[in-house]
Amino acid sequence: MATLGGLERSVMSLLWDSTEPLSANDVRDRLGEDLAVTTVLTVLSRLERKEMVRRERSTRPHRYSAVASREEHTVEMLNEVLGTAGDREAVLARFIGSIPDSEAATLRRLLQK
């Protein structure tokens, strides 16, 4: 699983929240930071190499969208972390023990389905 830097996380957050693919200019404008479009294009290219974004080449300017949803990405990260754990049961027990009661109730409900 690819790790993300701060700007990459911000770009991914925009793409996950968007209902449509975004151009590099759209991303730059929505970030609200003083960034050059070339910087945004570099970040988008890196994310594309990490297979996190898809570039639509059929239009100009190119438009970018997330390959997977935020939830799917989070599940991949959780599975990767659990995969490296020596004792998965201990990790899961600590995780479940650390969540609020309302989330524990949700987890119990989901497990019963």
CA 45 – CA 73 distance, rounded (Å): 18
| Residue 13's pLDDT band (cuts 50, 70, 90) | very high
Q: Who's near 47: CB < 8 A, 6+ residues apart?
A: 8, 11, 12, 53, 64
In 22-89, beta strands by DSSP E: 53-56, 63-66
Q: How does pLDDT run across 24-75, given as a tens digit for each residue?
A: 999 999 998 889 999 999 999 999 999 999 999 998 999 999 999 999 999 9
Which residues are bridge partners to 64 per DSSP?
22, 55
Residue type, 58: S
Instruction: Give the mean pLDDT of 87-104.
Output: 90
- Is domain 6-66 annotated with CATH 1.10.10.10? yes
pTM above 0.85, yes or no: no
CA 7 – CA 11 distance, rounded (Å): 6
